Chain A
Amino acid sequence: MDLQVTTELFESATVVRVKGSVDGLTADSLTTALQSHVNEGRVRLVCDLSGVDYTSSAGLRALLGTLKATRQQGGDFRLAAVQPNVHKILELSGFTSILKLYRDVDTAVASFSA
């Protein structure tokens, strides 16, 4: 299944909405999309994962790379609306201790204004 990635710009953050499965076949396209924002200086990023029901370690690599890149430039990478299967993988991988998770996009975007 292809991964659909769309972007919405807010004053306090950039929201990247992802739909589909993030696996070894699709993770590169997610990395490219997220990295393009970082390259253009948009380092306060929110990833809307409401449409993602699966990630493997390939997806975790994309998330970790983006987290490091944004923080290196004084920003942050935050997740919104993480679904149960993805949350389980994040927990098992120790990612819930390094990534900030929010129940929905609005809350995640607002967190950058706090």
Chain B
Amino acid sequence: MDNLAALMAFVDRACAAAGLDSDETLAVRLSIEEICANVISHGYAKHQDGDRPITVDFMSDADEVVTTIEDRGIPFDPATAPAPMLTGDAMQRTVGGIGLHLVRSLMDEVRHEPVPGGGNRLTLVKRRVAATM
């Protein structure tokens, strides 16, 4: 979790330096947090050796923000995740699957590729508002 704190601080700095607006920053920050938390909780759950990297690349230009997250964990395509519970009685609700649902909702593209030798590469694309006007 210490590493997650450092990663989120990096994300905040990168979003600010890139001049992202509030919506774009929300999409990027939340997506990176949710994906990395998922990798730590599930993809690396059986690995306690402390040597399981998550690589985050961040690129932005006037048209889009592209974030790539790569891990060496269990193969997992977010498109195959169970649908979250978004309706119904409060007492029956859970938050299971909501994180990935939020990523899919806030991003314009979510692409998954398996990494040769084991792992996942997720490419998240957020198109910038000014580019679509």
| A interface residues, Cβ below 8 angstroms from B | 23-25, 54, 56-58, 60-61, 64, 67-68, 71-72, 84-85, 88-89, 92-94, 97-99
Contacts and interface: CB of A to CB of B under 8 A. Distances in A.
A60 B102 CA distance: 11
Interface stretch (B28-36, B58-66, B67-75, B113-121): B28-36
B102 A92 contact: yes
Given A25-B1, A54-B26, A56-B37, 10 more contacts: A23-B8, A24-B1, A25-B8, A60-B98, A64-B95, A68-B91, A85-B22, A93-B86, A93-B98, A94-B93
Nearest to B89: A98
Given A23-B8, A85-B22, A57 B93 contact: no
Interface string B47-84: 00000000000000000000000000000000000001
A57 B1 contact: no
A29 to B, nearest CB: 13
Contact of B4 (A24, A54, A68, A94): A24
B46 to A, nearest CB: 20
16 contacts: A25-B1, A25-B5, A54-B29, A56-B30, A56-B34, A58-B33, A60-B95, A61-B95, A64-B90, A84-B22, A89-B30, A89-B102, A92-B105, A93-B101, A94-B93, A99-B90
A23 B7 CA distance: 13
Interface residues of B, number: 27
Contacts of B26: 54, 85, 88-89
B87 interface: yes
Listed residue (B84, B102, B106) with the most chain A CB atoms within 10 angstroms of its CB: B102
B99 A57 contact: yes
A64 B92 CA distance: 10
B129 to A, nearest CB: 14
A24 B33 contact: yes
B91 A71 contact: yes
